[in-house]
Chains A and B, each alone.
Chain A
Amino acid sequence: MDQILQGLREATNLHEIVTKRELVPQINLFEFSAKETAAKTKPGQFVILRIDENGERIPLTIAGANVEKGTITVVCHEVGKSTKQLGTLKKGDYILDLLGPLGKPAEIEKFGTVLCVGGGVMTAPLHFQAKAFHEAAHKVIGVIGARTESHLIFEDEMRNVCDELYVATDDGTKGYKGLDFLKELLKKTKTDRVIVMGPVVTMKVVSELTRSHGIPTIVNLIPIMVDGMGMCGACRVTVGGKTLFACVDGPDFDGHLVDFEELMSRLKMFTPQEKLAFVLQEERGGNL
């Protein structure tokens, strides 16, 4: 019993960055020590972390878990003050808080052919899910996208777990230009389920494309949230006319029922404050 208590006490300590790797400029992969979280993590779930005493609670979708090592992996895009601050941390540094896993795990059942569409930084957690589908002996068709070729991440990793992999960029520097090619792909391939993880626009566009084919389409939503366990309601989304909380009712939802316009509008709620924090940080030369 004392050993168990000792173990639990150790787990109250800070979380060490075991690995940090820059995948492309401004997108970093972090592996944090988080033994208990790693043991419970399933694809589709997320963590909330806090860098230091004045830090905000940052929700990040989990991109992998290693039970033996006792670590979880997240991939983070530097888009604001806090994510930029996270980007300045190095291997061996610590963060103050890590809470998770949060949210309901993704459904990994015998669906048949699954089309996994990942955009930008969310390609990493999508890979975690695609791998689970692959291991469950599904046929997995992967699509990964980014703004431009140099921003693509997890291409090799995805290739390893997909039966077919398609690449798309907004500017056509690699693979298909945009997502229009999906129309043809959906026509020629019998698809039983579609998973989309990426920018809200991508999730919206793909959901629109699959609607006419009647293919169940799951989107993974990370709206603005504070506590991540159902208390604040900041992450409320309208799904099929009902208000649901992404943190506890999701984060996976039926893409054909989500009100994406409302979600996009709510994601901008604190944009002026976020810009202010970012500018102040830049003025200090990125020093925190």
Chain B
Amino acid sequence: MSKPKPEIKKEVVPMPKQDPEERTRNFNEVAQGYTVEQVVAEAERCLQCVKAPCVQGCPVEVDIPAFIQLIKEKRFAEAIRKVKEKNSLPAICGRVCPQEEQCQASCTMGKIGDPVSIGRLERFVSDWERERGLQITEKPDTTGKRVAIVGAGPAGLTVAANLAKLGHGVMVFEALHKPGGVLIYGIPEFRLPKKIVEAEAEYIKKLGVTMKMNALIGRLYTIGELLDRFDAAFIGTGAGLPRFMRIPGENLCGVYSANEFLIRVNLMKAYDFPRCDTPIFVGEKVAVIGGGNTAMDSTRCALRLGAKEVKIVYRRSRAEMPTRAEEVENAEEEGVVLEFLTNPRRFIGNERGWVKAMECIRMRLGEPDASGRRRPVPIEGSEFTMDVDTVIIAIGRTPNPIIQQTTKGLQVTKWGTIVTDENGKTSIQGVYAGGDIVTGQATVISAMGAGKKAAKAIHEYLMSKK
């Protein structure tokens, strides 16, 4: 006689979080992670589907049922090893992946209740491992092949890790002074602690990867010069250029691009000024223009830096926001006000050249546009003025252009992204590319997925070459 099956809980085990009032006064991580009891309870909810729709939803194809089964049995060391077979940055993905649109979107549990919180389980095992010291399995035999990786963001680090595991010599060239790309300059400390990014980068170094900081490829070396020294190259330079609105008053003092604001706060730790040297100014009334994750991150940084009133000004409505639901929820809990169907027309300055107000216009939703979302249309005569002393423009980023401008024969689209085949192969032999530099601004995990494919293609290329 078989044992009766315990009833499966329909509701997800909630994530312990810092209290909203408390957390807006610090930069510590908001989501605090599951305990052992909580992680096992959440793992118990996994049905171990044979078809595993979750795996199909994962850009790097982590064997999700297998690692969850190991968590159920409290075999955490094996669980993280299972994750790392496919994902070299699990502590990061567990925190910033949009799981609700990927692995969790097709979770069978989602049909009868909440989907299994795969991201939180992944986060738990990677944190568990990091707290105990990273384990490196033995190194493979070296192939004698060398690969140059340009950009130490999610795509570049994934390619680096995957190729190092296959025994290739890998050198990563990063223009900033720390590895991580958007993980280190863009995503705030309270959502992704920098010590976690540093630990993941450290793991990749332990795999044998050399990382060279302060090396801007295109200026210090061209791709052609790298090919003289390496057998192949991967370009993962991302979409790091800020888009501006091109409306009057945008260059007033107090108007930042989200990139500037977040680089100051995250990479340069301006929240710790004057102990850290990089300054930042945040006034009392802050408007963040845009409706994506970067906009949400900016609002929440502004609150923590002492702003009294922080508004999101977004030209569409809540339904069209490209941000994760969880991030909007966090921002609203912390007191961020969402001003929908509103767009700035111009910024108004005071006599000292500082922004003091913003003229806005109300919008309504018209016919769907190319993105499938309903196009916002201005309602003439609805102009009004909003008092602000800080404005952060978070309306998107465009590809970094330096490599495209300095590499002869590299095929580029009219949007400045690099043209590749589905495996990341560019128009130049031995040169591959992936991540935002190919797709335009997207997610960390999609860049990692592209990196994984490119690593496979580079490996095949290297091994076929005499």
Contact = CB atoms under 8 A, between A and B. Distances in A.
Contacts of A40: 219-220
A273 B251 contact: no
B168 to A, nearest CB: 12
Contact of A99 (B146, B214, B353, B402): B214
B415 to A, nearest CB: 16
Interface stretch (B271-279, B370-378, B437-445): B271-279
A102 B244 contact: no
B274 A277 contact: yes
Contacts of A36: 215, 220-221
A232 B257 contact: yes
B259 A233 contact: yes
Given A233-B257, A280-B274, A5 B171 contact: yes
Contact of A97 (B177, B254, B280): B177
Residue among A1, A55, A227, A231 having the largest count of chain B Cβ atoms under 10 Å: A231
Nearest to B242: A233
B246 interface: yes
B353 A266 contact: yes
A158 B260 CA distance: 38
A216 B329 CA distance: 55
A55 B177 CA distance: 11
Contacts of A139: none
Contacts, number: 136
A189 interface: no
B41 interface: no
Interface in B237-259: 240-242, 244, 246, 250-251, 253-254, 256-257, 259
Interface residues of B, number: 50
A3 to B, nearest CB: 10
Interface stretch (A6-14, A115-123, A192-200): A6-14
A37 B352 contact: no
A276 B274 contact: yes
Contacts of B280: 273
Q: Which of A227, A237, A270 has the most CB of B within 10 A?
A: A227
A71 B361 CA distance: 55
Contacts of B250: 243
A30 B146 CA distance: 36
B95 interface: no
A103 to B, nearest CB: 9
Nearest to B273: A273
A232 B262 CA distance: 9
B399 to A, nearest CB: 10
Given A11-B212, A99-B216, A230-B402, A55 B246 contact: no
A131 interface: no
B251 A5 contact: no
A37 B220 contact: yes
A50 interface: yes
Q: Which 8 A-B pairs have the closest CB atoms?
A: A265-B353, A273-B279, A232-B260, A56-B277, A233-B257, A99-B214, A56-B278, A269-B253
Interface of A: 1, 4-5, 8-9, 11-12, 36-37, 40, 50, 54-57, 81-82, 96-102, 226-227, 229-234, 236-238, 243, 248, 262, 265-266, 268-270, 272-274, 276-277, 280
27 contacts: A1-B169, A1-B229, A5-B169, A8-B210, A9-B212, A12-B212, A40-B219, A40-B220, A54-B272, A54-B277, A56-B268, A57-B177, A81-B274, A97-B214, A99-B215, A99-B216, A101-B219, A101-B220, A102-B219, A226-B264, A227-B176, A231-B185, A232-B242, A234-B256, A236-B244, A238-B251, A243-B246
Interface of B: 146, 169, 171, 175-177, 185, 210-216, 219-221, 229, 240-242, 244, 246, 250-251, 253-254, 256-257, 259-260, 263-264, 268-269, 272-281, 352-353, 400-402
Given A56-B268, A234-B257, 4 more contacts: A40-B219, A97-B177, A226-B264, A277-B274
